[in-house]
A and B are shown apart, each in its own frame.
Chain A
Amino acid sequence: MNQRLPPRTALFGGLLLWFAVLGGVLSWTVHSLAAWSIDELTCEAGHDNLAGFPLTGAVALAVLLPAAGAATALVVSVLAWRRLRPGPRADDDRSLGRAHLLAVVGLWLNVLALAMIVLGGVAALVLPPCQR
Protein backbone atom coordinates (compact mmCIF):
# COMPACT_ATOMS: atom_id res chain seq x y z
CA MET A 1 0.00 0.00 0.00
CA ASN A 2 3.00 2.31 0.17
CA GLN A 3 4.46 2.05 -3.30
CA ARG A 4 3.21 5.53 -4.16
CA LEU A 5 5.14 7.25 -1.36
CA PRO A 6 8.47 8.87 -2.20
CA PRO A 7 11.27 6.70 -0.80
CA ARG A 8 12.43 9.20 1.81
CA THR A 9 8.94 9.72 3.17
CA ALA A 10 8.42 5.97 3.34
CA LEU A 11 11.74 5.46 5.12
CA PHE A 12 10.88 8.21 7.60
CA GLY A 13 7.52 6.56 8.29
CA GLY A 14 9.12 3.17 8.85
CA LEU A 15 11.70 4.60 11.24
CA LEU A 16 8.99 6.58 13.03
CA LEU A 17 7.21 3.34 13.83
CA TRP A 18 10.43 1.89 15.25
CA PHE A 19 10.83 5.02 17.36
CA ALA A 20 7.31 4.44 18.65
CA VAL A 21 8.27 0.86 19.54
CA LEU A 22 11.76 1.29 21.00
CA GLY A 23 12.06 5.00 21.86
CA GLY A 24 10.95 4.49 25.45
CA VAL A 25 13.24 1.62 26.31
CA LEU A 26 16.18 3.33 24.60
CA SER A 27 15.54 6.40 26.75
CA TRP A 28 15.40 4.17 29.80
CA THR A 29 18.74 2.58 28.84
CA VAL A 30 20.33 6.02 28.52
CA HIS A 31 18.79 7.02 31.84
CA SER A 32 20.05 3.94 33.72
CA LEU A 33 23.57 4.12 32.37
CA ALA A 34 23.93 7.89 32.74
CA ALA A 35 22.30 8.32 36.15
CA TRP A 36 23.99 5.28 37.62
CA SER A 37 27.49 6.01 36.37
CA ILE A 38 27.30 9.73 37.25
CA ASP A 39 26.17 8.92 40.78
CA GLU A 40 28.50 6.00 41.31
CA LEU A 41 31.66 7.57 39.95
CA THR A 42 31.24 10.98 41.52
CA CYS A 43 30.52 9.56 44.95
CA GLU A 44 33.38 7.11 44.56
CA ALA A 45 35.74 10.02 43.88
CA GLY A 46 34.61 11.54 47.18
CA HIS A 47 32.88 14.77 46.13
CA ASP A 48 29.28 15.72 45.46
CA ASN A 49 29.67 17.92 42.43
CA LEU A 50 30.60 17.30 38.86
CA ALA A 51 33.23 19.90 37.83
CA GLY A 52 31.37 22.55 39.82
CA PHE A 53 27.92 21.42 38.71
CA PRO A 54 25.88 20.02 41.67
CA LEU A 55 25.47 16.27 41.52
CA THR A 56 21.73 16.40 42.20
CA GLY A 57 21.34 18.63 39.16
CA ALA A 58 23.30 16.23 36.97
CA VAL A 59 21.17 13.30 38.15
CA ALA A 60 18.03 15.37 37.56
CA LEU A 61 19.15 16.00 33.99
CA ALA A 62 19.79 12.28 33.55
CA VAL A 63 16.18 11.72 34.65
CA LEU A 64 14.36 14.57 32.90
CA LEU A 65 15.89 14.31 29.42
CA PRO A 66 15.23 10.56 29.04
CA ALA A 67 11.78 11.07 30.55
CA ALA A 68 11.05 13.61 27.83
CA GLY A 69 12.29 11.12 25.22
CA ALA A 70 10.10 8.35 26.59
CA ALA A 71 7.09 10.66 26.78
CA THR A 72 7.57 11.66 23.14
CA ALA A 73 7.80 8.01 22.12
CA LEU A 74 4.64 7.34 24.11
CA VAL A 75 2.73 10.07 22.28
CA VAL A 76 3.98 8.83 18.92
CA SER A 77 2.99 5.26 19.75
CA VAL A 78 -0.50 6.28 20.86
CA LEU A 79 -1.01 8.22 17.63
CA ALA A 80 0.37 5.34 15.57
CA TRP A 81 -1.84 2.87 17.43
CA ARG A 82 -4.93 4.97 16.67
CA ARG A 83 -4.08 5.54 13.03
CA LEU A 84 -3.20 1.91 12.34
CA ARG A 85 -6.34 0.35 13.79
CA PRO A 86 -7.41 -2.26 11.22
CA GLY A 87 -10.85 -1.74 9.72
CA PRO A 88 -13.62 -4.34 9.83
CA ARG A 89 -12.63 -5.91 6.51
CA ALA A 90 -8.89 -5.52 6.92
CA ASP A 91 -8.31 -9.19 7.65
CA ASP A 92 -5.90 -9.62 4.81
CA ASP A 93 -3.97 -6.38 4.98
CA ARG A 94 -1.07 -7.85 6.86
CA SER A 95 1.09 -4.70 6.82
CA LEU A 96 -1.57 -2.84 8.76
CA GLY A 97 -2.02 -5.72 11.19
CA ARG A 98 1.71 -6.05 11.71
CA ALA A 99 2.23 -2.32 12.23
CA HIS A 100 -0.71 -2.22 14.62
CA LEU A 101 0.78 -5.06 16.67
CA LEU A 102 4.12 -3.23 16.84
CA ALA A 103 2.34 -0.04 17.89
CA VAL A 104 0.53 -1.86 20.71
CA VAL A 105 3.77 -3.46 21.87
CA GLY A 106 5.49 -0.08 21.69
CA LEU A 107 2.74 1.68 23.56
CA TRP A 108 3.03 -0.58 26.58
CA LEU A 109 6.83 -0.64 26.41
CA ASN A 110 6.83 3.15 26.54
CA VAL A 111 4.48 3.16 29.51
CA LEU A 112 6.78 0.82 31.42
CA ALA A 113 9.89 2.76 30.41
CA LEU A 114 8.39 6.05 31.49
CA ALA A 115 7.31 4.51 34.80
CA MET A 116 10.84 3.21 35.45
CA ILE A 117 12.42 6.59 34.69
CA VAL A 118 9.92 8.41 36.90
CA LEU A 119 10.48 5.95 39.76
CA GLY A 120 14.22 6.55 39.42
CA GLY A 121 13.51 10.29 39.58
CA VAL A 122 11.47 9.83 42.75
CA ALA A 123 14.42 7.99 44.29
CA ALA A 124 16.66 10.92 43.36
CA LEU A 125 14.26 13.32 45.07
CA VAL A 126 14.08 11.30 48.27
CA LEU A 127 17.64 10.07 48.79
CA PRO A 128 20.78 12.19 49.23
CA PRO A 129 22.97 11.21 46.28
CA CYS A 130 25.91 9.72 48.14
CA GLN A 131 24.26 8.07 51.14
CA ARG A 132 25.42 4.50 51.63
Chain B
Amino acid sequence: MTPDGIRTAFGPAGLTTEEPVGRSTAWWGVTLFVATEGTVFAALLGSYFYLRFQHGAPWPPDGIARPELLLPLIMTAVLVPSSLPVVWAESGIRRGRRWQLRAGLLATLAMGGTFLGLQGVEYHGLLREFTVTTNVYGSLFYVITTFHGAHVTVGLLMVCWLLAASLHDGSGARRREQVRVVAYYWHFVDAVWVAVLFTVYLSPRL
Protein backbone atom coordinates (compact mmCIF):
# COMPACT_ATOMS: atom_id res chain seq x y z
CA MET B 1 0.00 0.00 0.00
CA THR B 2 1.28 3.45 -0.83
CA PRO B 3 1.96 6.06 1.89
CA ASP B 4 -0.88 8.00 0.32
CA GLY B 5 -3.17 5.01 0.76
CA ILE B 6 -2.17 4.71 4.39
CA ARG B 7 -2.92 8.37 4.92
CA THR B 8 -6.35 7.89 3.35
CA ALA B 9 -6.97 4.84 5.50
CA PHE B 10 -6.16 6.91 8.56
CA GLY B 11 -8.67 9.57 7.58
CA PRO B 12 -12.37 9.54 8.49
CA ALA B 13 -13.25 7.70 5.29
CA GLY B 14 -10.90 4.82 6.06
CA LEU B 15 -11.55 4.61 9.78
CA THR B 16 -15.30 4.41 9.34
CA THR B 17 -15.02 1.31 7.15
CA GLU B 18 -17.27 -1.41 8.56
CA GLU B 19 -15.28 -4.50 9.40
CA PRO B 20 -16.48 -7.20 10.02
CA VAL B 21 -19.52 -6.80 7.82
CA GLY B 22 -22.12 -8.90 6.02
CA ARG B 23 -21.50 -12.21 7.79
CA SER B 24 -24.40 -14.59 8.24
CA THR B 25 -25.86 -15.58 11.60
CA ALA B 26 -24.57 -19.13 11.05
CA TRP B 27 -21.03 -17.81 10.53
CA TRP B 28 -21.19 -15.86 13.77
CA GLY B 29 -22.71 -18.81 15.60
CA VAL B 30 -19.99 -21.24 14.61
CA THR B 31 -17.24 -18.68 15.17
CA LEU B 32 -18.40 -18.06 18.73
CA PHE B 33 -18.85 -21.79 19.33
CA VAL B 34 -15.31 -22.46 18.14
CA ALA B 35 -14.07 -19.64 20.38
CA THR B 36 -15.64 -21.18 23.47
CA GLU B 37 -14.43 -24.67 22.52
CA GLY B 38 -10.96 -23.29 21.92
CA THR B 39 -11.05 -21.89 25.46
CA VAL B 40 -11.73 -25.38 26.82
CA PHE B 41 -8.66 -26.69 25.03
CA ALA B 42 -6.57 -23.72 26.11
CA ALA B 43 -7.53 -24.37 29.73
CA LEU B 44 -6.87 -28.10 29.34
CA LEU B 45 -3.43 -27.66 27.79
CA GLY B 46 -2.68 -24.90 30.30
CA SER B 47 -3.52 -27.37 33.07
CA TYR B 48 -1.06 -29.82 31.49
CA PHE B 49 1.78 -27.33 31.76
CA TYR B 50 0.69 -26.20 35.22
CA LEU B 51 0.65 -29.76 36.56
CA ARG B 52 3.89 -30.61 34.79
CA PHE B 53 5.82 -27.67 36.22
CA GLN B 54 4.31 -28.09 39.66
CA HIS B 55 5.39 -31.72 39.50
CA GLY B 56 8.96 -31.02 38.47
CA ALA B 57 11.45 -33.41 36.90
CA PRO B 58 11.41 -36.17 35.81
CA TRP B 59 8.54 -35.77 33.36
CA PRO B 60 6.97 -38.21 32.49
CA PRO B 61 7.23 -39.47 36.07
CA ASP B 62 7.47 -42.99 37.53
CA GLY B 63 9.73 -44.35 34.82
CA ILE B 64 7.24 -43.93 31.99
CA ALA B 65 9.11 -43.55 28.70
CA ARG B 66 8.90 -40.31 26.74
CA PRO B 67 6.17 -40.59 24.10
CA GLU B 68 7.13 -42.22 20.82
CA LEU B 69 6.99 -39.76 17.93
CA LEU B 70 6.59 -41.95 14.87
CA LEU B 71 2.92 -42.78 15.20
CA PRO B 72 1.78 -39.28 16.25
CA LEU B 73 3.65 -37.80 13.30
CA ILE B 74 1.91 -40.20 10.94
CA MET B 75 -1.40 -39.23 12.57
CA THR B 76 -0.53 -35.57 11.99
CA ALA B 77 0.29 -36.30 8.38
CA VAL B 78 -3.16 -37.87 8.01
CA LEU B 79 -5.26 -35.34 9.94
CA VAL B 80 -3.81 -31.93 9.07
CA PRO B 81 -4.01 -32.35 5.27
CA SER B 82 -7.62 -33.53 5.66
CA SER B 83 -8.55 -29.86 5.75
CA LEU B 84 -7.69 -29.65 2.06
CA PRO B 85 -10.49 -31.90 0.74
CA VAL B 86 -12.93 -29.88 2.86
CA VAL B 87 -11.76 -26.69 1.18
CA TRP B 88 -12.03 -28.44 -2.17
CA ALA B 89 -15.54 -29.65 -1.35
CA GLU B 90 -16.53 -26.14 -0.32
CA SER B 91 -15.32 -24.70 -3.59
CA GLY B 92 -17.21 -27.51 -5.32
CA ILE B 93 -20.52 -26.55 -3.82
CA ARG B 94 -19.87 -22.90 -4.58
CA ARG B 95 -19.70 -23.86 -8.26
CA GLY B 96 -22.63 -26.23 -7.97
CA ARG B 97 -20.56 -29.38 -8.56
CA ARG B 98 -22.17 -31.94 -6.34
CA TRP B 99 -19.74 -34.72 -7.24
CA GLN B 100 -16.87 -32.56 -6.01
CA LEU B 101 -18.66 -31.93 -2.72
CA ARG B 102 -19.27 -35.64 -2.19
CA ALA B 103 -15.76 -36.70 -3.20
CA GLY B 104 -14.17 -34.10 -0.93
CA LEU B 105 -16.34 -35.10 2.02
CA LEU B 106 -15.61 -38.79 1.43
CA ALA B 107 -11.88 -38.10 1.42
CA THR B 108 -12.19 -36.19 4.69
CA LEU B 109 -14.19 -39.01 6.17
CA ALA B 110 -11.54 -41.55 5.17
CA MET B 111 -8.68 -39.46 6.55
CA GLY B 112 -10.46 -38.68 9.82
CA GLY B 113 -11.44 -42.33 10.23
CA THR B 114 -7.81 -43.37 9.66
CA PHE B 115 -6.72 -40.92 12.33
CA LEU B 116 -9.12 -42.42 14.86
CA GLY B 117 -7.97 -45.92 13.91
CA LEU B 118 -4.33 -44.96 14.44
CA GLN B 119 -5.23 -43.48 17.81
CA GLY B 120 -6.75 -46.83 18.73
CA VAL B 121 -3.52 -48.58 17.68
CA GLU B 122 -1.51 -46.18 19.81
CA TYR B 123 -3.73 -46.72 22.85
CA HIS B 124 -3.49 -50.47 22.40
CA GLY B 125 0.27 -50.32 22.77
CA LEU B 126 0.43 -47.70 25.52
CA LEU B 127 -2.26 -49.11 27.79
CA ARG B 128 0.07 -51.97 28.65
CA GLU B 129 2.61 -49.46 29.95
CA PHE B 130 0.40 -47.04 31.87
CA THR B 131 -3.30 -46.21 32.21
CA VAL B 132 -5.40 -43.24 33.09
CA THR B 133 -5.18 -44.09 36.80
CA THR B 134 -1.39 -44.69 36.96
CA ASN B 135 -0.47 -41.12 37.82
CA VAL B 136 -1.20 -37.54 36.80
CA TYR B 137 0.78 -37.95 33.59
CA GLY B 138 -1.34 -40.90 32.53
CA SER B 139 -4.52 -38.96 33.37
CA LEU B 140 -3.39 -35.96 31.35
CA PHE B 141 -2.22 -38.01 28.39
CA TYR B 142 -5.37 -40.04 27.98
CA VAL B 143 -7.86 -37.31 28.83
CA ILE B 144 -6.33 -34.77 26.43
CA THR B 145 -6.02 -37.19 23.53
CA THR B 146 -9.45 -38.74 24.12
CA PHE B 147 -11.05 -35.33 24.39
CA HIS B 148 -9.54 -34.36 21.06
CA GLY B 149 -10.54 -37.69 19.58
CA ALA B 150 -14.11 -37.01 20.68
CA HIS B 151 -14.02 -33.74 18.75
CA VAL B 152 -12.76 -35.56 15.67
CA THR B 153 -15.67 -37.97 16.07
CA VAL B 154 -18.18 -35.12 16.28
CA GLY B 155 -16.61 -33.54 13.20
CA LEU B 156 -16.89 -36.85 11.33
CA LEU B 157 -20.55 -37.14 12.36
CA MET B 158 -21.13 -33.71 10.84
CA VAL B 159 -19.37 -34.77 7.65
CA CYS B 160 -21.50 -37.94 7.50
CA TRP B 161 -24.61 -35.82 7.94
CA LEU B 162 -23.57 -33.54 5.07
CA LEU B 163 -22.81 -36.54 2.84
CA ALA B 164 -26.18 -38.10 3.58
CA ALA B 165 -27.90 -34.79 2.94
CA SER B 166 -26.05 -34.24 -0.32
CA LEU B 167 -27.10 -37.71 -1.50
CA HIS B 168 -30.67 -37.11 -0.41
CA ASP B 169 -31.74 -34.06 -2.35
CA GLY B 170 -30.90 -32.71 -5.72
CA SER B 171 -29.92 -29.12 -5.23
CA GLY B 172 -26.65 -29.13 -3.34
CA ALA B 173 -26.22 -25.39 -3.67
CA ARG B 174 -28.68 -24.77 -0.87
CA ARG B 175 -26.33 -26.25 1.59
CA ARG B 176 -23.44 -23.84 1.08
CA GLU B 177 -23.83 -22.32 4.52
CA GLN B 178 -23.88 -25.67 6.25
CA VAL B 179 -20.82 -26.91 4.39
CA ARG B 180 -19.09 -23.75 5.50
CA VAL B 181 -20.01 -24.33 9.13
CA VAL B 182 -18.75 -27.91 9.06
CA ALA B 183 -15.58 -26.79 7.28
CA TYR B 184 -14.88 -24.24 10.01
CA TYR B 185 -15.36 -26.83 12.68
CA TRP B 186 -13.09 -29.29 10.90
CA HIS B 187 -10.30 -26.74 10.48
CA PHE B 188 -10.64 -26.00 14.18
CA VAL B 189 -10.27 -29.68 15.09
CA ASP B 190 -7.16 -29.86 12.89
CA ALA B 191 -5.60 -26.77 14.44
CA VAL B 192 -6.24 -28.09 17.93
CA TRP B 193 -4.44 -31.29 17.02
CA VAL B 194 -1.29 -29.31 16.26
CA ALA B 195 -1.49 -27.78 19.75
CA VAL B 196 -2.08 -31.23 21.26
CA LEU B 197 0.85 -32.65 19.31
CA PHE B 198 3.13 -29.94 20.62
CA THR B 199 1.94 -30.23 24.22
CA VAL B 200 1.62 -33.94 24.70
CA TYR B 201 4.21 -35.39 22.35
CA LEU B 202 6.86 -32.76 21.66
CA SER B 203 7.10 -30.69 24.85
CA PRO B 204 8.33 -33.59 27.09
CA ARG B 205 11.39 -33.73 24.84
CA LEU B 206 12.21 -30.06 25.29
Contacts and interface: CB of A to CB of B under 8 A. Distances in A.
Direct contact of A and B (CB under 8 A): yes
Interface of A: 1-2, 4-6, 8-18, 41, 44-45, 79-80, 83-84, 95-96, 98-99, 103
Contacts, number: 80
Nearest to A14: B19
A20 to B, nearest CB: 8
A16 B13 contact: no
Interface string B14-46: 111111000000000000000000000000000
B75 to A, nearest CB: 29
Contact of A99 (B1, B15, B53): B15
B88 to A, nearest CB: 26
Contacts of A4: 13
A12 B5 contact: yes
Given A9-B9, A83-B12, A96-B12, A15 B18 contact: no
B133 interface: no
Given A5-B8, A6-B5, A8-B1, A13 B53 contact: no
Contact of A83 (B1, B11, B19): B11
Contacts of B1: 8-9, 12
Contacts of A12: 1, 5-6, 9, 14
Contact of A9 (B5, B16, B18, B53): B5
B53 A16 contact: no
A103 B6 CA distance: 18
B5 A99 contact: no
A112 to B, nearest CB: 22
A14 B13 contact: no
B161 interface: no
A10 B53 contact: no
B18 A13 contact: no
A18 B15 CA distance: 9
Nearest to B52: A41
